[in-house]
């Protein structure tokens, strides 16, 4: 695994297949897709930033890179993508074997360019707070205090706006100093951008232009009219704080049998139109703080009658939710508008009820917005996550904006699409595949918002056909990929990142359908061994996790368990070693050996077993899975477990109920939740206060160690995870038990003495593996 991690450290890329099945049919036989998980603006401390423009191939526009073949004498480079010969321009005249420009250094496969003499003025970032006021007083005061903290942390030069909503939408004019003024809009009625501009008297002094799109200062909006609503943080801190202080919860009476009238969609739509009119193309984020379900406007998730329950997965499955499709359609529209304007929607959903994340998902995900789900605005998960957004010291998220991501690859492969936070720009071309996965039909994507850890999952189609001539391999057997990312970094400057990769491909003599155990031809055997050697099982598991989640959302009647099981069985029968009909003979190379375990945990995970969660929670988990890197995603699928005891230092423990012991502390990290679990004896000693006594220093240390480690995890993660501290047999222990392999259940007698058993009918990993082996050898 180490070499795959090295590749990630160099380029921010992980691929399930680092040796690529080289033909269409070999790729199909390989079961796990040819894919890449790429972190476009991953932070590399030693990455060079070049102060000049990149050289591009004159035919295919790919950027000069270390895989280009250079003829120093003739001053020519050959593009590895299209084989075009390109002349170096005069300022490269001095290049030679030992005087290479940085972009040709073999180790600089990832490099960044900054545009020389970039004179575009730095556009300040814009934050539009959209605040729900239909919450109880207590929540209101938590939210106010978090918001005023956030305002203090805002970059000085950033522009800020405020919209509050409940039954009505209030757009606050902050530019008036002493006399606070608001524009009030009906929550039930959608407004077009033109109507909005009209009503907010943007054209009081000047006639409205007769034709054309109205967008920003260039199109006739005076900067005074813009600065009524968007003011530099440094100038409006006082006004903003006094508006917040005065802010009341929505004053409209809510009958006992009803929900509050909450016009979330109208408020978001007004925020989007206002930003679209004032600052199109600027790095702007709508930050929505929502405390309950939308019930009013074009996209209510539920009616006001409390007698109507909020939709569950069962309801969605039966397609019996009257509002759902309407809402999704509304937010698809909003998402298109935001992507067009280049603006981001961030969602902070803090309520015990669902607020409508499932409906809002497309708008947040396609704009690269952040999402945080907590049960209250007073909860640490919300408070600390919000602080992290604005913190610019050690754990800076590296929020960036206005990204465009493009790709080019060798002509024998095509790109099917991306599962991740981006939107297709529908740029057609020869490398765009007809089969679409996620955001597809394009070779360029918009990333309105992106940060240091945003990770895209790209899917490829191998289109190279079988050649009857097995020696075809001898010619060129490298595939090249180039990932190009333009973005505005968090100090507002444009950067251009280029990552160029090369991967070897292998192919057997296509026509023979063989696998390991069938006395295959030498070529076939060679190919299978090569593929195995390049298999990154963690990356593979995460590609499968994103794909299964995506299919569950988009394909009616899709059976995720069947699909995963089939994939696993096919993968094991192709790459495992066994004798037919002899389950005990089955073995897997170390390169594949933990893949079945990943699939076992994926089947049990929140991504697949959705019925244990609400549609909002599922949407939340999946949005985060779709933006995280491989190592964080692995923890979501298969949590990590560390055991602390007097007998040994902290050590990784098997994610199994057998890990529980009275004299152990366990630290479970499942990404969204971090659990510190005290075995019963430890809990007793702690309750007796032993750790406070001088002679029990060692015990005090043992108690502290998992807390220190948990702090480290909490500090650098976004969203900040929920920290659960619990004791064996306590009610909170379920947070741990739910994630453990049920090797001992009430069905098995052999629970360990002093251990624990799990009450479940789920099969254990041993039973699962047993079934797998029997099916594979059939
Ligand atoms: C990418 O490279 C191919 C050659 O494989 C070339 O024909 C094509 O024009 C390039 N596409 C883009 C979008 O640059
Ligand atoms: C994955 O992302 C996390 C959080 O952004 C980061 O701390 C970690 O180093 C990343 N892992 C790799 C291997 O890049
Ligand atoms: C953003 O880019 C500019 C210009 O290239 C650079 O000076 C600055 O340090 C960058 N900021 C960050 C946070 O990377
Ligand atoms: Zn080229």
Is 80 exceeded by the pLDDT of residue 267?
Answer: yes
Rounded to whole angstroms, the Cα distance separating 513 from 648 reads: 51
Rounded to whole angstroms, the Cα distance separating 131 from 290 reads: 7
Positive or negative: CA dihedral 41, 44, 45, 46: negative
Clarify whether residues 164 and 285 are in a common domain: yes
56 lines ligand 1 (CB under 6 A): no
Mean pLDDT of all residues in 649-678: 96
b/e 530-563 (16+ beta carbons within 10 angstroms → b) = bbbebbbbbbbbbbbbbbbbbebeeeeeeebeeb
| pLDDT reported for residue 269 | 97
Q: Which residue is closest in CA terms to ligand 1's atom 13?
A: 408
Clarify whether residues 301 and 424 are in a common domain: no
Q: Which of 454, 481, 510 is the last residue of a domain?
A: 510
Question: Could you tell me the pLDDT band of residue 708, with boundaries at 50, 70 and 90?
Answer: very high
Positive or negative: CA dihedral 351, 355, 358, 363: negative
Tell me the CA–centroid distance for residue 55 and ligand 2, in Å: 31
Cβ neighbours around 525 below 10 Å, total: 15
| pLDDT reported for residue 657 | 92
- Report the nearest atom of ligand 1 relative to the CA of 410: 5
Tell me the CA–centroid distance for residue 406 and ligand 4, in Å: 15
Rounded to whole angstroms, the Cα distance separating 20 from 623 reads: 28
Rounded to whole angstroms, the Cα distance separating 130 from 289 reads: 6
Cis peptide before 753 (omega within 30 of 0): no
Clarify whether residues 296 and 209 are in a common domain: yes
3-state class of 159 per DSSP? strand
Closest CA to 635 of 523, 739, 507, 522: 739
Tell me the CA–centroid distance for residue 41 and ligand 3, in Å: 12
Is 70 exceeded by the pLDDT of residue 516?
Answer: no
Could you tell me if residue 615 is inside a domain? no
- Report the nearest atom of ligand 3 relative to the CA of 114: 5
Tell me the CA–centroid distance for residue 438 and ligand 1, in Å: 21
Q: Which residue is closest in CA terms to ligand 1's atom 9?
A: 60
Q: Are 289 and 143 in contact (CB under 8 A)?
A: yes
Could you tell me if residue 752 is inside a domain? no
| pLDDT reported for residue 216 | 61
Domain count, the chain: 4
Closest CA to 1 of 602, 627, 594: 594
Rounded to whole angstroms, the Cα distance separating 326 from 332 reads: 10
Strands across the sheet containing 722-727: 651-652, 640-644, 665-669, 673-678, 722-727
Q: Which of 486, 510, 534 is the last residue of a domain?
A: 510
Candidates 64, 406, 408: which one to mutate for ligand 1, based on the most atoms within 8 Å of Cβ?
Answer: 408
| Global pTM value | 0.94
Assigned token pair, 500: 């160029």
Q: Which residue has the tokens 């994103």?
A: 546
Closest CA to 776 of 515, 455, 463, 563: 515
Tell me the CA–centroid distance for residue 506 and ligand 4, in Å: 23
| pLDDT reported for residue 773 | 93
Tell me the average pLDDT of the chain. Answer: 90
453 lines ligand 2 (CB under 6 A): yes
> Within 13 A of 699's CA, how many CA atoms are on the CB side?
18
| pLDDT reported for residue 472 | 46
Rounded to whole angstroms, the Cα distance separating 92 from 178 reads: 61
Could you tell me if residue 643 is inside a domain? yes
Clarify whether residues 357 and 434 are in a common domain: no
Clarify whether residues 79 and 184 are in a common domain: no
Tell me the CA–centroid distance for residue 494 and ligand 3, in Å: 9
Q: Are 660 and 679 in contact (CB under 8 A)?
A: yes
Clarify whether residues 274 and 410 are in a common domain: no
- Report the nearest atom of ligand 1 relative to the CA of 82: 4
Question: Could you tell me the pLDDT band of residue 745, with boundaries at 50, 70 and 90?
Answer: low
| pLDDT reported for residue 473 | 44
Rounded to whole angstroms, the Cα distance separating 292 from 352 reads: 8
426's torsion region: left (phi>0), alpha (psi -120 to 50) or beta?
left
497: β partners: 112, 485
Tell me the CA–centroid distance for residue 429 and ligand 1, in Å: 8
Which CATH number fits the domain that encloses residue 187? 3.40.50.410
Q: What is the DSSP letter of 731?
A: G
Q: What is the pLDDT of residues 192-226, one digit of tens each?
A: 888 888 888 776 666 555 544 445 655 556 677 78
Rounded to whole angstroms, the Cα distance separating 189 from 144 reads: 27
Closest CA to 493 of 31, 117, 77, 61: 117
Tell me the CA–centroid distance for residue 166 and ligand 4, in Å: 55
Find the DSSP H helices in 303-414: 313-317, 324-341, 357-366, 380-390
Query: 256: which residues sit within 8 A by CB, 6+ positions away?
Result: none
758: β partners: 745
DSSP H or E segment with residue 573: helix 560-575
Clarify whether residues 496 and 434 are in a common domain: yes
Clarify whether residues 316 and 442 are in a common domain: no
287: β partners: 129, 346
493 lines ligand 3 (CB under 6 A): yes
429 lines ligand 1 (CB under 6 A): yes
> Within 13 A of 153's CA, how many CA atoms are on the CB side?
16
Query: 178: which residues sit within 8 A by CB, 6+ positions away?
Result: none
Write the CA distances from 639 to 488, 573, 651, 721, integer angstroms: 34, 27, 14, 13
Is 50 exceeded by the pLDDT of residue 38?
Answer: yes
Write out the residue range of the structural domain in which residue 76 sits. Answer: 49-107
Clarify whether residues 369 and 270 are in a common domain: yes
Clarify whether residues 236 and 384 are in a common domain: yes
Clarify whether residues 134 and 252 are in a common domain: yes
Mean pLDDT of all residues in 86-113: 95
Q: Which residue has the higher pLDDT, 13 or 464?
A: 13
235 lines ligand 3 (CB under 6 A): no
Q: Which residue is closest in CA terms to ligand 2's atom 11?
A: 631
Strands 371-374 and 400-409: unpaired
Q: Are 164 and 401 in contact (CB under 8 A)?
A: no
| pLDDT reported for residue 180 | 73
Which CATH number fits the domain that encloses residue 674? 3.40.20.10
Q: Are 260 and 250 in contact (CB under 8 A)?
A: yes
Is 60 exceeded by the pLDDT of residue 342?
Answer: yes
Could you tell me if residue 542 is inside a domain? no
593 lines ligand 3 (CB under 6 A): no
Could you tell me if residue 383 is inside a domain? yes
Q: Which residue has the higher pLDDT, 760 or 392?
A: 392
Q: Report the chain's terminal Cα–Cα distance, integer Å.
A: 30
Which CATH number fits the domain that encloses residue 93? 2.30.30.380
Could you tell me if residue 632 is inside a domain? no
Q: Which percentage of the chain shows pLDDT scores above 90?
A: 75
**CA 629 to chain centroid:** 8
482 lines ligand 1 (CB under 6 A): no
Query: 408: which residues sit within 8 A by CB, 6+ positions away?
Result: 60, 61, 62, 81, 431, 443, 481, 482, 484
Q: What is the pLDDT of residues 363-407, one digit of tens each?
A: 999 999 999 999 999 999 999 999 999 987 777 899 999 999 999
3-state class of 519 per DSSP? coil
Could you tell me if residue 168 is inside a domain? yes
Q: Which residue is closest in CA terms to ligand 3's atom 4?
A: 493
Cβ neighbours around 701 below 10 Å, total: 12
Rounded to whole angstroms, the Cα distance separating 760 from 513 reads: 41
3-state class of 8 per DSSP? helix
Q: Are 102 and 113 in contact (CB under 8 A)?
A: no
Rounded to whole angstroms, the Cα distance separating 97 from 18 reads: 29
DSSP H or E segment with residue 693: none
Q: Which of 472, 490, 510 is the last residue of a domain?
A: 510
Mean pLDDT of all residues in 165-189: 87
Mean pLDDT of all residues in 491-518: 77
Which CATH number fits the domain that encloses residue 7? 2.60.40.1670
Is 60 exceeded by the pLDDT of residue 519?
Answer: no
Is 80 exceeded by the pLDDT of residue 532?
Answer: yes
Radius of gyration of the chain (CA): 28
Could you tell me if residue 365 is inside a domain? yes
Ligand nearest to the CA of 484: 1
| pLDDT reported for residue 629 | 97
Q: What is the pLDDT of residues 401-450, one digit of tens each?
A: 999 999 999 989 999 999 999 999 999 999 999 999 999 999 999 999 99
Q: Are 498 and 590 in contact (CB under 8 A)?
A: no
**φ, ψ (nearest 5 deg) of residue 764:** -85, 170
Is 70 exceeded by the pLDDT of residue 467?
Answer: no
| pLDDT reported for residue 742 | 83
Q: Which residue has the tokens 């035919």?
A: 59
Clarify whether residues 20 and 66 are in a common domain: no
DSSP H or E segment with residue 774: helix 765-777
């Amino acid at each position: 695994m180490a070499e795959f991690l090295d590749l990630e450290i160099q380029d921010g890329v992980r691929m399930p297949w680092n040796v690529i099945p080289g033909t269409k049919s070999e790729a199909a036989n390989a079961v796990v897709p040819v894919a890449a998980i790429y972190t476009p603006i991953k932070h590399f401390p030693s990455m060079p930033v070049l102060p000049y423009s990149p050289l591009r191939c004159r035919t295919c526009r790919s950027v000069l890179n270390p895989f280009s073949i250079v003829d120093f004498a003739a001053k020519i480079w050959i593009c590895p993508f299209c084989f075009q010969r390109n002349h170096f321009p005069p300022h490269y005249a001095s290049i030679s074997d030992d005087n290479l420009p940085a972009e040709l250094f073999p180790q600089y496969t990832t490099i960044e360019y900054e545009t020389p003499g970039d004179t575009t003025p730095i556009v300040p970032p814009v934050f539009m707070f959209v605040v729900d006021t239909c919450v109880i007083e207590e929540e209101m005061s938590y939210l106010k205090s978090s918001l005023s903290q956030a305002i203090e942390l805002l970059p000085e030069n950033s522009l800020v706006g405020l919209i509050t909503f409940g039954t009505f939408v209030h757009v606050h004019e902050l530019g008036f100093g002493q006399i606070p003024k608001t524009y009030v809009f009906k929550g039930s009625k959608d407004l077009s951008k033109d109507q909005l501009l009209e009503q907010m008297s943007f054209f009081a002094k000047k006639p409205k232009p007769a034709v054309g799109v109205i967008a920003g200062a260039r199109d006739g909006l005076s900067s005074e009219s813009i600065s009524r609503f968007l003011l530099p943080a440094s100038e409006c801190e006082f006004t903003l704080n006094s508006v917040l202080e005065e802010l009341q919860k929505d004053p409209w009476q809510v009958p006992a049998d009803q929900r509050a009238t909450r016009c979330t969609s109208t408020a978001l739509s007004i925020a989007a139109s206002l930003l679209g009119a004032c600052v199109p193309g600027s790095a702007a984020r709508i930050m929505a703080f929502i405390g309950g379900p939308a019930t009013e406007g074009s996209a209510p998730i539920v009616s006001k009658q409390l007698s109507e329950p909020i939709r569950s997965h069962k309801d969605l499955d039966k397609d019996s939710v009257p509002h759902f499709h309407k809402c999704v359609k509304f937010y698809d529209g909003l998402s298109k508008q935001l992507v067009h304007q280049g603006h981001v929607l961030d969602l902070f959903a803090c309520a015990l009820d669902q607020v409508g994340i499932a409906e809002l998902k497309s708008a947040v995900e396609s704009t690269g917005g952040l999402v945080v789900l907590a049960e209250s605005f007073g909860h640490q998960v919300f408070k600390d996550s919000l602080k992290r957004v604005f913190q610019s010291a050690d754990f800076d998220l590296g929020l960036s904006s206005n990204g465009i991501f493009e790709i080019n690859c060798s002509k024998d492969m095509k790109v099917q699409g991306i599962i991740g936070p981006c939107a297709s720009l529908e740029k057609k071309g020869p490398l765009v595949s007809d089969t679409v996965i996620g955001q597809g039909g394009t070779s360029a994507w918009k990333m309105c918002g992106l940060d240091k850890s945003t990770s895209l999952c790209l899917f490829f189609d191998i289109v190279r056909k079988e050649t009857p001539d097995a020696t075809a391999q001898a010619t060129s057997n490298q595939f090249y990929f180039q990932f190009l990312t333009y973005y505005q970094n968090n100090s507002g400057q444009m950067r251009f990142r280029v990552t160029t990769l090369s991967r070897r491909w292998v192919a057997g003599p296509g026509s023979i359908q063989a696998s390991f155990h069938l006395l295959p031809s030498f070529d076939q055997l060679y190919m299978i061994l090569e593929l195995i050697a390049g298999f990154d099982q963690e990356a593979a598991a995460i590609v499968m996790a994103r794909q299964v989640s995506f299919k569950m959302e988009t394909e009616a009647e899709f059976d995720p368990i069947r699909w995963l099981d089939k994939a696993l069985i096919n993968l094991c029968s192709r790459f495992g070693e066994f004798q037919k009909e002899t389950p005990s003979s089955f073995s897997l190379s170390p390169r594949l050996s933990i893949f079945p375990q990943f699939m076992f945990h994926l089947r049990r995970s929140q991504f697949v077993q959705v019925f244990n969660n609400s549609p909002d929670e599922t949407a939340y988990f999946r949005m985060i899975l779709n933006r995280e890197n491989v190592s964080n995603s692995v923890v979501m699928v298969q949590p990590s477990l560390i055991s602390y005891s007097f007998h040994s230092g902290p050590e990784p423990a098997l994610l199994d109920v057998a890990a529980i012991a009275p004299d152990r502390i366990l630290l479970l990290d499942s990404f969204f939740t971090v659990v510190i679990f005290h075995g019963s004896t430890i809990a007793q000693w702690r309750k007796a206060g032993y750790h406070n006594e001088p002679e029990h220093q060692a015990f005090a240390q043992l108690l502290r160690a998992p807390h220190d480690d948990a702090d480290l995890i909490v500090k650098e993660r976004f969203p900040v995870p929920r920290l659960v501290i619990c004791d064996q047999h306590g009610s909170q222990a379920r947070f741990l038990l739910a994630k453990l392999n049920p090797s001992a259940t009430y069905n098995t007698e052999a629970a360990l003495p002093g251990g624990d058993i799990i009450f479940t009918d789920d099969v254990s990993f041993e039973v699962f593996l047993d079934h797998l082996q029997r099916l594979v050898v059939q």
